[in-house]
Amino acid sequence: MSQSVEKVEELQQIAKELRRDVIYMVSRAKSGHVGGSLSAAEIVTALYFSEMKLDPAQPKWPDRDRFILSKGHCCPILYAALCRKGYFSREVLDTLRKVHSPLQGHPDMRKTPGLDMSSGSLGNGLSIGLGMALAARANEKNYRVYVLMGDGEQEEGAVWEAAMAASHMKVDNLVGFVDCNKLQLIGRVAEIIDIAPLADKWRAFGWNVVQIDGNDMEAVLDALDKVRKVKGKPSVILADTVKGKGVSFMEDQVQWHSKAPNEEEAARAIKEIMEGEKA
Ligand SMILES: Cc1ncc(C[n+]2csc(CCOP(=O)(O)OP(=O)(O)O)c2C)c(N)n1
Ligand SMILES: [Mg+2]
């Protein structure tokens, strides 16, 4: 491990606050996806608050790094990050899922400042990321492209078409993350269509594979450091996570995929997240 203690602690604090904002937004909207938002908090935080080259004052800056939330239903965590980066003000969080809100139930790049791609139909993000990565090559830009997928999403065939093409084209400015939280919409990934052995599959498709505890901030930062140095092939970070991470009654519980906490549950969840203990 090679990160400074101060940096890791600062990012852990940001991840906590983003988790809090997810609960706040979804409970207020009375609908939205909490489980897969909470599992991805460290990944999204490390990308937006450490790794990615961005300028919130110029959301369309051509040299910015790109992020695609291929598991688009988990947009509450992304909206929380974009808000904290300064792309829009905190009052906007109150409008999640409302008609005409910039924060739709699934990401809409025409509406949300700072959003690089619309998503929600699973399986498409990696192909789009590959296109963006190839565009950087064609335009002689050195931006990098990050795509966050779900583990259930690995069941989509299009993921593997993109995987095959990316290694064939030796694209090394494309990084995939898989949020391996073991659950999808109505059950366990292993029981619906088992994706194991996932690392072997990605390796067989020609990718550099890094496996980490995806809820360990330092591990996420170390993985990003590692993949930045890999040349001539794309990298994927398989992140072992817990769905609903940070809230005891949501952790590893399939019903919290898309259930909105009521007022009392939200208060309990936020207390646990911010105090780091079961309320
Ligand atoms: C093509 C497509 N099929 C079905 C859905 C409905 N759906 C939304 S979320 C979800 C489960 C996704 O599970 P996973 O990829 O593991 O995401 P996470 O656990 O991180 O929420 C499904 C099937 C969809 N959005 N897109
Ligand atoms: Mg999952």
Q: Are 57 and 87 in contact (CB under 8 A)?
A: no
Query: What superfamily would CATH give domain 5-275?
Result: Thiamin diphosphate (ThDP)-binding fold, Pyr/PP domains (3.40.50.970)
- The strand pairing partners of 178, in sequence order, are 149, 238
Q: Is the beta carbon of 183 within 6 A of some atom in ligand 1?
A: yes
d(CA 176, CA 148) in angstroms, rounded, equals 6
The protein residue whose alpha carbon is closest to atom 10 in ligand 1 is 185
Q: Are 140 and 173 in contact (CB under 8 A)?
A: no
d(CA 77, CA 181) in angstroms, rounded, equals 15
pLDDT score of 1: 61
Å from CA of 181 to ligand 2 middle: 5
User: Given ligand 1 and candidates 185, 189, 250, which is best to mutate, with the most ligand atoms within 8 Å of its CB?
Assistant: 185
| DSSP element (H, E) containing 210 | strand 208-213
DSSP state, residue 154: G
Which tokens belong to 272? 């646990």
Q: Which residues surround ligand 2, an ion (CB under 5 A)?
A: 150-152, 181, 183
User: Given ligand 1 and candidates 34, 153, 250, which is best to mutate, with the most ligand atoms within 8 Å of its CB?
Assistant: 153
User: One digit per residue, pLDDT tens: the chain, 279 residues?
Assistant: 689 999 999 999 999 999 999 999 999 999 999 999 999 999 999 999 999 999 999 999 999 999 999 999 999 999 999 999 999 999 999 999 999 999 999 999 999 999 999 999 999 999 999 999 999 999 999 999 999 999 999 999 999 999 999 999 999 999 999 999 999 999 999 999 999 999 999 999 999 999 999 999 999 999 999 999 999 999 999 999 999 999 999 999 999 999 999 999 999 999 999 998 554
Q: What share of the chain is helix, strand, coil (3-state, %, to 5)?
A: 45, 10, 40
User: pTM of the full predicted structure?
Assistant: 0.98
pLDDT score of 2: 84
pLDDT score of 123: 98
> In the chain, what are the domain boundaries?
5-275
Q: Is the beta carbon of 71 within 6 A of some atom in ligand 1?
A: yes
Q: Which atom of ligand 1 is nearest to the CA of 154?
A: 15
